[in-house]
């Protein structure tokens, strides 16, 4: 059996090696390392794939979120609402810009931000909502857009884990994750669903003025060379990464299908087990399974992780600590018990290996090992 990885980038690379190696050496030969033709070509492909007017490539997903908030002109004191159960980057950039992060609890089934909790948390200072499409499926965007319209708020989607997922509106129409709010952000970190071979990210919008502003902000606030209209940052996607991403984007749907096949295998094996709750599909979104996350009950989760590790099966806890318990984000407004769902999830979730290369032998071994522990 092939060694099991949380994410198997090696075997994925081996299948596309000739194409990738050729594309990388073409960039090296061209010496157009920054903003070369491969960046423009990837940008155009991604705009077409997403059905969005503008893709602005940038350095990573964290920068994408930061640039979005800078371009919207958010000011210190403005409140930005986001989920309490997410990767830290979402809240980090809010704090970094001197804005006030306001966290709310998530839905126990989808792990995504709870729209009713958003509504209860809005104040006159609230300027934006940042829904995170966690683990590969979209948050409840019908409800979030409705709230945003009512209170005149910006919506910045953190689509770092959900590129390629479709949101299905109440009327049956569809949009890709990250193209629904005012601005969408994604990451091309190697382990993401569309990962490059280093750091990378992108920002999406259908708004021409915002796009212009963000293209300026990622490039030192400059549209005409050496004339700086905005305070900007230096955040670029390099040409080698874009060349890799162009090749992988052409396979993104195939990759999502492979992830879904693995998820269905897991679902079947763990169905009706009272100690394991399999991921709940939110009817309004397709799932691209960035993670396959179980909610355990009545078992020692740490012991399960240890048991799997002894059998050379990696498993991870995404995420062990809710934001209001993080040392850097201590806030006197929040105390233990304020976000019961996030607190419970942090104590009980475990994510199994999930990637495009899992085969049946590996899946059988993983599921039978989990069940051995759970049913003993
Ligand atoms: C990965 C991730 C980010 C940050 O992306 P980087 O490219 O690593 O900066 C932000 N938000 C979420 C939800 C993520 O998963």
pTM (2 decimals)? 0.97
pLDDT of residue 70: 97
Side-chain-side CA neighbours of residue 156 (13 Å): 29
Structure tokens, 37: 């033709």
Mutate which of 85, 161, 288 for ligand 1? The one with the most ligand atoms within 8 Å of its CB, which is: 161
What are the b/e assignments for 340-373, b being 16+ CB within 10 Å? ebbbbbbebbbbbbbbbbbeeebbebbbebbeeb
CATH assignment of 9-249, among 3.40.640.10, 3.50.50.60, 3.30.450.90, 3.40.50.720: 3.40.640.10
Domains 9-249 and 252-374 share a fold: no
Tell which atom from ligand 1 comes closest to the C-alpha of 63: 9
**Is residue 161 within 6 Å of ligand 1 at its C-beta?**
yes
Closest by alpha carbon to 182, among 160, 164, 200, 155?
A: 155
C-alpha angle 79/103/292, rounded to 5°? 135
CATH assignment of 252-374, among 3.50.50.60, 3.40.50.410, 3.90.1150.10, 3.40.50.300: 3.90.1150.10
* Distance from Cα 160 to the centre of ligand 1, integer Å: 5
Distance of CA 352 to the CA centre of its chain: 17
pLDDT of residue 32: 96
Tell which atom from ligand 1 comes closest to the C-alpha of 65: 10
Q: Which residues contact 268 (CB under 8 A, 6 or more apart)?
A: none
pLDDT of residue 210: 98
Element housing 365 (H / E): helix 360-374
For the chain, residues with pLDDT lower than 50 are: none
pLDDT digits (tens, 9 = 90+) for 14-36: 999 999 999 999 999 999 999 99
**Is residue 132 within 6 Å of ligand 1 at its C-beta?**
yes
pLDDT of residue 12: 98
pLDDT of residue 286: 98
In the chain, where the domains are located:
9-249, 252-374
Let me know: does 166 contact 174? Beta carbons within 8 Å.
yes
pLDDT of residue 158: 98
């Amino acid at each position: 059996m092939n060694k099991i990885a949380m994410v198997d980038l090696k075997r994925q690379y081996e299948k596309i090696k000739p194409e990738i190696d050729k594309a990388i050496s073409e960039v090296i030969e061209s010496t157009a390392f920054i903003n070369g033709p491969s960046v423009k070509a990837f940008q155009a492909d991604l705009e077409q794939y997403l059905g969005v007017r503008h893709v602005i490539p940038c350095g990573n997903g964290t920068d994408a979120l930061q640039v979005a908030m800078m371009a919207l002109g958010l000011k210190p004191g403005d409140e930005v609402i986001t989920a309490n159960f997410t990767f830290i980057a979402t809240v980090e950039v809010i704090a970094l810009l001197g804005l006030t992060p306001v966290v709310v609890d998530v839905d126990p089934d989808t792990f995504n931000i709870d729209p009713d909790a958003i509504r209860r948390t809005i104040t006159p200072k609230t300027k934006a909502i940042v829904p995170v499409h966690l683990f590969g499926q979209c948050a409840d965007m019908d409800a979030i857009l409705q709230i945003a319209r009512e209170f005149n708020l910006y919506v910045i989607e953190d689509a770092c884990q959900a590129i390629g997922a479709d949101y299905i509106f109440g009327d049956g129409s569809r949009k890709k994750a990250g193209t629904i709010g005012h601005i969408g952000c994604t990451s091309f970190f190697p382990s993401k669903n569309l990962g490059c071979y280093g750091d990378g990210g992108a920002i999406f919008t259908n708004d021409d003025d915002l796009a212009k502003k963000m293209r300026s902000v990622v490039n030192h606030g400059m549209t005409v060379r050496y004339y700086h209209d905005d305070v900007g940052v230096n955040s670029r996607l390099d040409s080698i990464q874009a060349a890799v991403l162009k090749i992988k984007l052409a396979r993104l749907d195939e990759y999502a299908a492979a992830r879904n096949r693995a998820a269905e295998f897991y679902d079947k094996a763990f169905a009706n087990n009272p100690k394991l709750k399999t991921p709940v599909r939110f009817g309004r979104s397709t799932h691209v399974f960035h993670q396959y996350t179980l909610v355990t009950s009545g078992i020692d989760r740490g012991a399960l992780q240890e048991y799997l590790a002894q059998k050379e099966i990696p498993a991870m806890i995404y995420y062990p600590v809710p934001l209001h318990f993080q040392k850097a984000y201590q806030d006197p407004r929040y105390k233990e018990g304020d976000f019961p769902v996030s607190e419970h999830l942090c104590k009980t979730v475990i994510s199994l290996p999930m990637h495009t290369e899992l085969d049946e032998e590996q899946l059988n071994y993983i599921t039978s090992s989990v069940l051995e522990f759970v049913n003993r």
